[in-house]
Amino acid sequence: MKSPRERIVETTFGLFARQGYNSTGINQIISEAGVARASFYQYFKSKEDLCVEFLKVRHEYWFSELNAFLAEEKDLKSKIIKAFDFLIYMNGKEHFRGCSFLNILSEIPMDNTKILKIIQTHKADLRNYFSSLLKDQALSDHIYLLFESSIIESQLFKSNELIEKSKNIAAHLIQ
């Protein structure tokens, strides 16, 4: 059986995905997680603190899924090309939910540095991921920007078409 903390975070995943950050209240999270109000506040001082935890868990989950998806790829070009296939895989798994980090970014005020820092760290880690593979900053930035825009466009249009096009562009950029 899951702990109250685990149930809270798990419930938050579904609610933030369906309703967004701003439209999800603490009372709804408590009710749907089946925990006492005191349990919620034992683990999280505020919805903002819960959001930070949600994003940290999401970050670990997302990179774990990416690494598992790419584990069998040996050469650099295949690994990068298959990273775009990972986006298609995630769109199928999560119904074109898009990037949790950018979804929340669109809902918070820019002076919310606590949440903003977590989002920036996730994006910096993704950029560094491509940079560590390619060892060419300009090329890795191109790949990163193609990758990021593919996430947004696929969510917007509920289609993998632009991921496929970005994957082809990336294949031509990497020689």
Domains of the chain, first to last: 1-44 (1.10.10.60), 46-173 (1.10.357.10)
> For residue 175, what pLDDT band results from cuts at 50, 70 and 90?
confident
Among the listed residues 106, 82, 86, 64, the one whose alpha carbon sits nearest the alpha carbon of residue 154: 86
Residue pLDDT, tens place only, 98-115: 999 999 999 999 999 999
C-alpha span between 109 and 21 (Å, rounded): 12
Q: pTM for the whole thing?
A: 0.94
Each residue of 5-16: pLDDT tens digit?
A: 999 999 999 999
pLDDT value at 1 more than 90: no
Nearest CA-CA partner of 4 in 47, 37, 27, 51:
37
pLDDT band at 132 (very low <50, low <70, confident <90, very high): very high
Q: How far is Cα 27 from Cα 21, in angstroms, rounded to an integer?
A: 13
**pLDDT confidence tier of residue 133, bands split at 50, 70 and 90:** very high
pLDDT digits (tens, 9 = 90+) for 70-93: 999 999 999 999 999 999 999 999
